[in-house]
Amino acid sequence: MQSTKRATSIELIRFIAAFVVMLYHFFTIYVDGNGMVPFAYIFVEFFFLLSGFFMMKHIAERTDSMNPAAYVFHKAVSFYPVFIIAFALQFVLFVFMNHIGSPSEAVGSLFHFKWEALLLQTAGFIPNPQFNSDYLLGQAWYLSAMLLSLLIAYPLAKYLKKWYLALVCPLVIIFVYSYIMQTFGTMNVGNEYMGVVMSAVLRGLAGTCAGSLCYVGYARLKEHPLQRKKTAALVEIVCYAGLVGLFFIPDAADDADSLFFILVFALLIVFGFTNQTPVSKFLNAHGRKLLTYLGSLSLYLYLLHWPVMSALQLWAPDMEPAAAFALFFGATAILSALLKWLNDKRKNAFPVIIIVCALFVFAFFVPLISG
């Protein structure tokens, strides 16, 4: 059985998820306001499910599982270097786009984004937050919501495991998803304040709970292998066909239908890690090096495509869509590969600190240069 850490069928879906989010943002922001994949936003739930799965795996399989604060900190450290570089790069572009007039004004603008720099933009500290004015990276809310939802879910899973799995998870999944759908009519929410918590955190918590139940399913199938393998194989094929079908859903489709894909993601996660069904077994055994690389590249693509898209809007707003499309994906892929290489090679935090400081210093001097 393949290691749950690198089930390459899951790595492939991670890459597809990042690619589809990139596609969605390119068409909605750069082209005509209509996403090529209308339900692309639901792929964020896949990342939340994976977070919940690995959280539960850590708690269930390790006798020395971390305390809640240590686990969340460890999770943040795993992606914060990539995030803060993307954040600093986007801040440079923000200074250009908003014609910041002086270094002191640039410093003030950076302080304005302090909560996002600390990954606390979904904690509710910003009144009526808006993209492009209160957030630099429009897609990074997911990382903040994931960390905050782990702060809630992890202690429940660690200290009240039976209650968490048997009662908390099912109730949270049902109530949160139905509440969001009934209140907003779509799962494409994140920066709305809902009484005492941001909708992003609730969305993250529901996904984390769903991912926790995915681990339960995986653990049971690991102990008791599938008996009806033909039925499971058919279900798996239908799930993968559903992913393909996302590209062909008409714009007029009901947003409530997007909830169906959360179930699809859950089944694919269980199948992928269990490694007992045909498609997962094939993907987990072939092209492992390539799929592992693509999966690990997904975080970089997810974070860096926003600055690339902003640069296109700033310096090439009238470029032919086909050329812009090629430049957008090409530049994001190259930048992601370079940053991944640097991140893999570095032995400490100094390269990240140097890059981030250089970008901030450059941003502070942009007003003097452009003036």
pLDDT of the residue at 6: 73
CA torsion sign for 111, 117, 123, 128 is positive
Q: How many residues does the chain have?
A: 371
pLDDT digits (tens, 9 = 90+) for 60-86: 998 888 999 999 999 999 999 999 999
pLDDT score at 370: 64
Task: Give me 121's structure tokens.
Answer: 């933009």
- Give me the pLDDT at residue 251, please: 67
| Residue bearing the bigger pLDDT, 353 or 245 | 353
Residue 146, phi then psi, degrees to nearest 5 = -65, -45
Residue 1 pLDDT > 90 = no
For residue 49, the tally of other CB atoms under 10 A from its CB is 25
Instruction: Identify the band that residue 3 occupies on the pLDDT scale cut at 50, 70 and 90.
Output: very low
Return the pLDDT at 34: 59
> Using 50, 70 and 90 to split pLDDT, how confident is the model at 333?
very high
End-to-end Cα distance, the chain: 61
CA–CA dist 303, 203 (Å, integer): 20
SS (H, E, C) the chain: CCCHHHCHHHHHHHHHHHHHHHHHHHHHHHHCCCCCCCCHHHHHHHHHHHHHHHHHHHHHHCCCCCCHHHHHHHHHHHHHHHHHHHHHHHHHHHHHHCCCCCHHHHHHHHHHCHHHHCCCCCCCCCCCCCECCCECCCCCHHHHHHHHHHHHHHHHHHHCHHHHHHHHHHHHHHHHHHHHHHHHCCCCCCCCEECCEEHHHHHHHHHHHHHHHHHHHHHHHHHCCCCCHHHHHHHHHHHHHHHHHHHHCCCCCCHHHHHHHHHHHHHHHHHHHHCCCHHHHHHHHCCHHHHHHHHHHHHHHHHHHHHHHHHHHHHCCCCCHHHHHHHHHHHHHHHHHHHHHHHHHCCCCHHHHHHHHHHHHHHHHHHHHHC
Write down the pLDDT at residue 30.
72
The per-residue pLDDT for range 114-134, each reduced to its tens digit, is 999 999 999 999 888 887 788
Q: Is residue 299 over pLDDT 50?
A: yes
Structure tokens at 54: 């690995």
Question: Rounded to whole angstroms, what are the CA distances from 352 to 38, 72, 92, 201, 349?
Answer: 36, 21, 16, 28, 5
HSE toward the beta carbon, residue 78, CA cutoff 13 A: 12
Provide φ and ψ at 131, rounded to 5°.
-65, 150
pLDDT in tens, 228-281: 888 999 999 999 998 888 888 876 678 888 899 999 999 999 999 999 999 999
Averaged pLDDT, 128-145: 89
Taking every pair of C-alpha atoms in the chain, what is the biggest distance, in angstroms?
A: 71
Q: From residue 356, how far is each of 106, 116, 121, 182, 262 by CA, in Å?
A: 15, 15, 20, 42, 36
pTM of the full structure: 0.94
Tokens coding 124: 């509710």
Question: Taking the C-alpha atoms of 336, 338, 96 and 36 in order, what is their torsion angle to the nearest 10 degrees?
Answer: -20
**Residue 280 near residue 271 (C-beta atoms within 8 A):** yes
Is the predicted pLDDT of residue 307 greater than 70, yes or no? Answer: yes
Q: Which of 28, 46, 29, 41 is nearest to 180 (CA)?
A: 41
Q: pLDDT tier at 48 (50, 70, 90 boundaries)? A: very high
Q: Rounded to whole angstroms, how far apart are CA atoms 139 and 323?
A: 24
- Specify the higher pLDDT residue, 99 or 48: 48
How many CB atoms sit inside 10 A of residue 33's CB? 8
pLDDT at 253: 74
Work out the mean pLDDT of the chain and round it to a whole number: 91
High-pLDDT (> 70) share of the chain, % = 96
Does 24 score more than 90 pLDDT?
no
